[in-house]
A and B are shown apart, each in its own frame.
Chain A
Amino acid sequence: MTALPPGPADLDGASSTPLHPAAREVLLAALDRGYADPRRLHRPGREARLLLDNAREATAEALGVRPDEVTFAPSGTHAVHLGLLGLVRGSRRGTRVVHPPVEHSAVRHAVAWGAESGEVGVDRSGRVDEAGLVEGARSPGVAAVALQTANHEVGTVQPVGAVELPDEVPLFTDACASMGRLPLPSGWAAAAGSAHKWGGPAGVGVLLVRKRARWRNPFPGDDRVDERSTGFENVPAVLAAAASLQAVVAERDEVNARQHGLVDVVRHRVAAEVPDVEVVGDPDHRLPHLVTFSCLYVDGEALVTELDRRGFGIASGSACTASTLTPSHVLEAMGVLTHGNVRLSLQRDTTRAQVDAFCDALPEVVAEIRSRVGL
């Protein structure tokens, strides 16, 4: 019996991932049970409140934090804005945020909107200059340090728990790329995550604020169950996000080991089989499911389009493939090739056959695009 060729593969799980099976049933049941206003004292209100409290407790347990440190936000981006700018607003030292240039645009936009930026460099793998970060944090006027848990474009894990900051300077960590997949590091005062990246529904962000953190709401307040939240909670989605997070945490030893091995296959095969290619990001201290490489002389948009024609969905940090005309600020800060860029990120159920099919197709696709310009 010959094996069937693998079907189309969405290899862009870091952008968004399908609803985890554990979340689907919870979501459907909660749509009927959790519609009411959780502040109301009548029966439907108490029911919604119960589900919201359950979601908060399950999320806290999965992440190893206290339930009263968990706030649900309308998106990961909003959780980032709230978390970081709340630390800035709560600071008595100033308004500057020290951060590496490889932070997600949600962090960069928050800093541009409500703080001053103090950038410290990264090495070629995207890892922050730790000594520079600590030195930057010691300078006057610094409100907070922002350091992502892991980079969303190249997968490099940052030394969040290892940086020794002055007592008065809190650390914000954007954990959107890693939440659920990797344990939360220590050492942060506020953190943010995004449910659609771990298999929960879109429109659910998680904001974590440590009990003793000096955090003040940077935006207009609201009168909700949780003083840090804004607007009417999407109780069914929040509960589904929590169920998905629990499932992802429970299965991550097995899934991470499998994905780490599959990414190793991609890293080795791409480097060996495609000429003039650079595989970037830390090869070991990285997200389990994500790998990035750049191919010389190849237009990123053509690469995305040709791979899509062959059934492979991938992301690219090259200019013209993203929402901007400038190349990825992450690749730029690392000093690695910005054109011909591919970010491949595995889904929970991506198979070895799909990964091999991608690696089989890639050399021909790259060669064909290069031949268009006579190289």
Chain B
Amino acid sequence: MTPPPDRRHDVALELDCREVPCPMPVIELARHLRDVEVGELLAVVAHDPAAAVDVPAWCRMKGQHYVGADVTDDGAPRYVVRRVG
């Protein structure tokens, strides 16, 4: 089910939160948002099922744009965010 690499979003920074539970993936997003420029993409890789809900909810609450989910080479879910402000 892994999409080919060209179907994946081209992100400026990818955070590896594979092994940590929520809320850590969202905490890492908040910590590293300013490591990318406005308009660039930031992604978090997380196995925790809560991330699928919490990353879009975080974007909504913090005024960022949730781009969508894709999958890494090793099949882990990856959630992609565009920094808006």
Contacts and interface: CB of A to CB of B under 8 A. Distances in A.
Contacts of A373: 24, 27
Contacts of A332: 52-53
Given A338-B22, A339-B22, A340-B23, A375 B50 contact: no
Nearest to A333: B53
19 contacts: A296-B26, A297-B23, A298-B23, A318-B22, A319-B49, A320-B21, A326-B49, A327-B53, A327-B54, A331-B53, A335-B53, A335-B56, A335-B57, A336-B53, A336-B57, A337-B61, A338-B50, A340-B23, A375-B27
Contacts of A318: 22, 50
Given A278-B61, A327-B49, A297 B54 contact: no
A294 B60 CA distance: 13
Nearest to A280: B57
A298, A332, A339, A374: residue with the most chain B Cβ atoms closer than 10 Å = A339
B30 interface: yes
Interface string B44-72: 00001110111011100110000000000
Given A278-B61, A326-B49, A327-B22, A337 B27 contact: no
A294 B31 CA distance: 19
Contact of A337 (B30, B52, B58): B58
B1 to A, nearest CB: 21
Nearest to A337: B57
B61 A339 contact: no
A319 B27 contact: no
B37 to A, nearest CB: 22
Contacts of B54: 327, 337-339
A276 interface: yes
A375 B49 CA distance: 23
A320 B49 CA distance: 12
Interface in A268-322: 276, 278, 294, 296-299, 318-320
A338 B24 CA distance: 13
Interface of B: 21-24, 26-27, 30-31, 48-50, 52-54, 56-58, 61-62
Interface of A: 276, 278, 294, 296-299, 318-320, 326-327, 331-332, 335-340, 373-375
A375 B31 CA distance: 8
B58 A296 contact: yes
B53 to A, nearest CB: 5
Given A294-B57, A332-B53, A339-B26, 9 more contacts: A296-B30, A297-B23, A297-B27, A319-B21, A319-B48, A320-B21, A338-B50, A338-B54, A375-B31
Contact of B26 (A297, A320, A326, A374): A297
A337 B53 contact: yes
B66 to A, nearest CB: 10
A223 B27 CA distance: 58
A335 B53 CA distance: 6
The 5 closest A-B pairs by CB, nearest first: A339-B23, A337-B57, A327-B50, A339-B22, A338-B50
Contact of A319 (B22, B57, B61): B22
Nearest to A298: B23
Contacts of A340: 23
A333 B22 CA distance: 17
B22, B52, B57, B61: residue with the most chain A Cβ atoms closer than 10 Å = B57
Contacts of B31: 374-375
B30 A339 contact: no
A338 B61 contact: no
B32 to A, nearest CB: 12
Contacts of A326: 49-50
A132 to B, nearest CB: 20
A278 B57 contact: yes
Given A319-B21, A337-B61, A375 B30 contact: yes
B41 to A, nearest CB: 21
Contacts of A327: 22, 49-50, 53-54
B20 to A, nearest CB: 11
B23, B49, B57: residue with the most chain A Cβ atoms closer than 10 Å = B23
